[in-house]
Amino acid sequence: MKVSYYPGCTLKTKAKNLEDAAVASMAALGVDFEELTRWNCCGAVHSLADDDLIHQVAPVRDLVRAMEQGSDKVVTLCSMCYNTLARANLLMRQDEVKRKTINDFMNEEKDYHGEVEVLHFLNFLRDQVGWDTVRNAVKVPLNGLKVAMYYGCTLMRPRNVAIEPIGDTRIMGEFLEAIGAAPVDFPEATTCCGSYQILANPEAAHDVSGRILESAIRAGAEAMVLSCPLCEFNLSKKQPEVLKKNKISREVPVYYFTQLLAMALGLGQEACRFDLNSECSVELLKNKNFPV
């Protein structure tokens, strides 16, 4: 069995903290985590139009790349990449007619029938690495850090690609417990952050983002983890606007889940990359006497 890692464009540009922390953590755990040598954009958003097959070409091409490199699993960190790749994979496995159309169009590539399995990093950690391995490797347990588990949409919807049964919100909790933190479930854990509405209709995006932050605070969280650069943009980069518009008085530190993993494994700044997070995120960790 060979596992390939598919990073996605944003992890190479605006979300290096999501990637660097994961890659360093895998190296520290001694897990083979090799990036695909060739890959393109995942398609970013799954096209809902039934006959819009051209937008399936990008993710399918990435799956072909993984197959070409002899992998039977491809792991992603970004929730949106996970979603587009997993849904395209499902289509190639289940819809014979569309599969033929897409394979015919991409006739410079090998035919693809869904040979590769798409995994989100959390599932990879649980099923391929194992929580015990993670737990045993922890050098800095994040004792007392109360973290809201924010899933957002694309890890959980639609049901047939959800990283765990809807309503479970277990995997992020297990992850946080493995690194010593205290997971905080909250009612808006799978509410949409506002997504691309931040461009066309920022007010509406700020409204839902505000609801999510408020809900996390009310549930007793000191911070929030997530795995999607767009959620991070709406909930963290845009947080000053969100707090102002919704009259929320407390800032909420937001981290990629991989950053907390890297910190718990005792990896340094060049791995954790808290320099790319908001100021309050760094302050909280300092106040807790974590090595940042």
Partner 1 sequence: MSHHHDSKEPKQKKKVQVATGDRAILPEGATTIPVYIMGKRYEVPETLTIMKAMEYAGFKFLRGAGCRGGICGACPTVYRKPGDYKLHFGLACQTVVEPDMYLAQIPFYPANRAAYKIEDLEPNPEIIFSLYPELFRCVACNNCTKACPMGVDVLGYISALKQGDIARAAEISFDCIQCGMCASRCMGELPQYHIAQLARRMYGRAIMPRARHLAKRVEEIESGKYDEMLKSLQTMSHGELEKRYKEREREPDMAPNGTWLPANDPYL
Minimum CB separation of residue 85 from partner 1 in Å reads 12
CB 229 to partner 1: min, Å: 13
Cα separation of 143 and 290, whole Å? 10
Task: Report the nearest approach of partner 1 to the CB of residue 54 (Å).
Answer: 6
Nearer to partner 1, 38 or 286 (CB): 38
State the minimum distance, in angstroms, from the CB of residue 218 to partner 1. 37
Which CB, 47 or 246, lies closer to partner 1? 47
Closest distance to partner 1 from the beta carbon of 196 (Å) = 12
**Which lies closer to partner 1 via its Cβ, residue 12 or residue 244?**
12
36 vs 292, beta carbon nearer partner 1: 36
The CA angle 156-119-149, to the nearest 5 degrees, is: 40
The CA-CA-CA angle for residues 226, 231, 237, to 5°, reads 105
**By C-beta, is 43 or 253 nearer to partner 1?**
43
Using the minimum distance from each CB to partner 1, give the nearer residue, 7 or 183: 7
45: number of Cβ within 10 Å:
14
Question: Which amino acid is residue 59, in one-letter code?
Answer: P
Show the tokens assigned to 161: 């690609």
* Distinct helix (H) and strand (E) counts, the chain: 15, 8
The CB-of-37 to partner 1 minimum distance in angstroms stands at: 11
Closest CA to 81 of 229, 234, 272, 233: 229
Nearer to partner 1, 105 or 131 (CB): 105
CB of 51 to partner 1, least distance (A): 15
Q: Largest alpha-carbon pair distance within the chain?
A: 58
Residues that bind partner 1 in the complex, under the rule CB under 8 A: 7, 9, 12-13, 38-41, 43, 54-55, 57-58, 61, 105-106, 108
Distance, CA of 80 to CA of 230 (rounded, Å): 8
3-state secondary structure 112-154: CCCCCEEEEHHHHHHHHHCHHHHHHHCCCCCCCCEEEECCCCC
